[in-house]
Amino acid sequence: MNIIKVSARSRTAAVAGAIAGVMREANRAEVQAIGAGAVNQAIKAIVIATGYMAEEGVDIICSPTFVEVLIDEQERTAVRILVEPRPAG
């Protein structure tokens, strides 16, 4: 699965659309952000995507984790957020 990478300059509506689109195709999405500004944009996009999916009767949950990623041969800590539909019940 492709990871949706978010920067501090990402447009939240565009990221939200990408999250909703991946959710429709794969039933889950992974969003990754490095830095406070990027994490802020990612969270706002997930909130918007929650509204998009709610219109289709899908309630979503997200599970954040830290991951180490290699960028320009340097190890960085990223926040990766798994977005999935809430199980019924």
Full-model pTM: 0.93
Q: Give the residue numbers spanning the domain of 9.
A: 3-85
Q: What is the pLDDT of residue 37?
A: 98
Average pLDDT over residues 83-89: 84
Count up the domains in the chain and report the number. 1
CATH code at position 13:
3.30.110.20
pLDDT higher than threshold 90 for residue 7: yes
Q: What is the pLDDT of residue 82?
A: 98
Q: What is the DSSP string of the chain?
A: --EEEE-TT--HHHHHHHHHHHHHHHS-EEEEE-SHHHHHHHHHHHHHHHHHHHTTT--EEEEEEEEEEEETTEEEEEEEEEEEEPPP-
Q: What is the pLDDT of residue 2?
A: 85
pLDDT digits (tens, 9 = 90+) for 21-67: 999 999 999 999 999 999 999 999 999 999 999 999 999 999 999 99
